[in-house]
Amino acid sequence: MTMGAEIASGFQSIGIIGAGQMGSGIAQVCAAAGLRVYLNDVSDEKINSGIGRITKSLQKRRDAGKITDEQVDKLLSAIVSTPKLRAFEQCDLVIEAATEDEATKRKIFGGVYPFLNPTTVLATNTSSISITRLATATDRPQRFIGIHFMNPVPTMKLVEVIRGLATDQTTYDATAKFVAALGKLITTSEDYPGFIVNRVLIPMINEAVYALYEGVGSIQSIDDSLRLGANHPMGPLQLADFIGLDTCLSIMQVLHEGLADSKYRPCPLLVKHVEAGWLGVKTGRGFYDYASGAPVPLR
Ligand SMILES: NC(=O)c1ccc[n+]([C@@H]2O[C@H](COP(=O)([O-])OP(=O)(O)OC[C@H]3O[C@@H](n4cnc5c(N)ncnc54)[C@H](O)[C@@H]3O)[C@@H](O)[C@H]2O)c1
């Protein structure tokens, strides 16, 4: 069998690096599609917290009558806690979903590729960092690709796929087949900062933070305006909390540096929130406080 044919025959076992909001969601949808999943993070504690998040999400689906107890157990047993990268030698596809920081991601790729089978496709879930540049931290730029899932992964239909300059057609075709097997829809973006979704979405969120910073409106007014006036399901500040303010800031920085246009400068208030560690839902506080469950605006 040729290398290309092997890739095209379909990914069966998937490695995931980073068990945060996105990595755990990707693990869940891969398990639901009948694939074997190997889940890695920096510590057992982080992996367990990712598996805890998946368990909660599956239990919610069970309580809604969408899946049975047996299915919950089956899906959880398909996800293997993988503290050592060496275990990825058995994977057909490895998806990096770690913190949105280029140095972190480059270090991960440098650490993992020596363990991979030569035919393994290596992918990143980055929201904005150049696929072409990240590919240079691997030994396989032709088999490196951006697979950008949306948050929350189990419910969002779209997966944006980004080819780097060197990504080959076989890798793209196998990725498209994988995305379809997960029951998701694909859009293809060229490799420019922020790709399509975040090139449009994150500057809008940044502008909403500017509106708050300049006193144009309160958190509630800004979010209500977009929800009720533009028919958005969630206001931009609440959405920012949901995405993670560190991720939003990092994407603005990538747009600002990559497109060299001052219209992409991150709002100082966004920077301040990240400096305070108020990162949104994942830390219990962002533009809203989530301590009591329901979001309470902070200003
Ligand atoms: N949050 C979103 O809405 C969203 C949407 C699409 C894509 N993304 C992208 O997905 C990626 C992850 O984002 P997230 O929201 O899940 O962040 P997160 O903070 O919830 O999770 C990141 C995880 O990466 C782990 N990590 C950091 N360094 C690591 C390393 N060296 N090895 C293994 N694991 C490591 C962290 O411990 C953490 O568990 C980012 O690239 C982000 O841009 C995020």
Q: What is the pLDDT of residue 234?
A: 96
Residue 246 in contact with ligand 1 by CB distance below 6 A: no
Assess whether 157 and 37 both reside in one domain.
yes
User: Does residue 299 belong to any structural domain of this protein?
Assistant: no
Active site residue 256: no
Q: Is the CB of 18 under 6 A from ligand 1?
A: yes
Give burial (CB, 10 Å; 0-12/13-18/19+) of 65.
exposed
- Residues 269, 168: one domain? no
Position 6 confidence tier, pLDDT thresholds 50, 70, 90: very low
Same domain, 23 and 155: yes
Would you call 70 a catalytic residue per the annotation? no
pLDDT at 158 over 80: yes
What's the gap in Å between 87 CA and the centre of ligand 1?
20
Q: Are residues 98 and 182 in the same domain?
A: yes
Residue 7, pLDDT above cutoff 60: no
Ligand 1, residue 40: give the atom nearest the CA: 33
In angstroms, the CA 22 to CA 34 distance is 19
**15 lies in the same domain as 114:** yes
| 299: confidence class by pLDDT, cuts 50, 70, 90 | confident
pLDDT tens readout for residues 11-59: 999 999 999 999 999 999 999 999 999 999 999 999 999 999 999 999 9
Q: What is the mean pLDDT of the chain?
A: 95
Note whether 84 and 185 are same-domain residues. yes
Catalytic residue among 24, 40, 127, 206: 127
Beta strand residue intervals within the chain, DSSP E? 13-17, 36-40, 79-81, 93-96, 121-124, 144-149, 158-163, 185-189, 288-289, 296-297
298 lies in some domain? no
The answer, yes or no, to whether any atom of ligand 1 lies below 6 A from the CB of 227, is no
**Does the structure show a pLDDT above 60 at 228?**
yes
Q: State which residues form the domain around 7.
A: 3-189
Cβ of 247 closer than 6 Å to ligand 1, yes or no, is yes
* Domain-ending residue, one of 122, 156, 189: 189
pLDDT score for 293: 83
- Would you place residue 1 in the very low, low, confident or very high pLDDT band (cuts 50, 70, 90)? very low
Q: How far apart are CA 60 and CA 254, in angstroms?
A: 36
Q: Is residue 106 part of a domain?
A: yes
CATH code of the domain in which 168 resides: 3.40.50.720
* High-pLDDT (> 70) share of the chain, %: 97
Mean pLDDT of 80-91: 95
At residue 4 the predicted structure's pLDDT band, cuts being 50, 70 and 90, is very low
Q: What is the CATH number of the domain that holds 259?
A: 1.10.1040.10
Section 248-257 average pLDDT: 96
Supply 258's token pair. Answer: 């990559």
pLDDT grade, residue 284 (50/70/90)? very high
Average pLDDT over residues 280-287: 96
Q: How far apart are the first and last CA of the chain?
A: 62
Model confidence band, residue 181 (pLDDT cutoffs 50, 70, 90): very high
112 pocket-lining for ligand 1 (C-beta < 6 Å): no
How confident is the model at residue 128, as a pLDDT?
87
Query: What are the φ and ψ backbone dihedral angles of 209, each rounded to 5 degrees?
Result: -70, -40
CA proximity to 269, closest of 296, 299, 293: 299
The response to whether residue 108 sits with its C-beta less than 6 Å from ligand 1 reads yes
Instruction: Give yes or no for residue 2 having a pLDDT over 70.
Output: no
Q: Active site residue: 13, 96, 100, 148, which one?
A: 148
Instruction: Tell me, yes or no, whether 296 lies in a domain.
Output: no
Active-site entry in 24, 160, 250, 256: 160
pLDDT at 251: 94
Domain count, the chain: 2
Is residue 275 part of the annotated active site? The answer reads: no
pLDDT of residue 91: 97
**pTM: predicted TM-score of the whole model, two decimal places:** 0.91
- Taking residues 145-158, report their average pLDDT: 96
Average pLDDT of the residues in 183-202: 96
148 is catalytic: yes
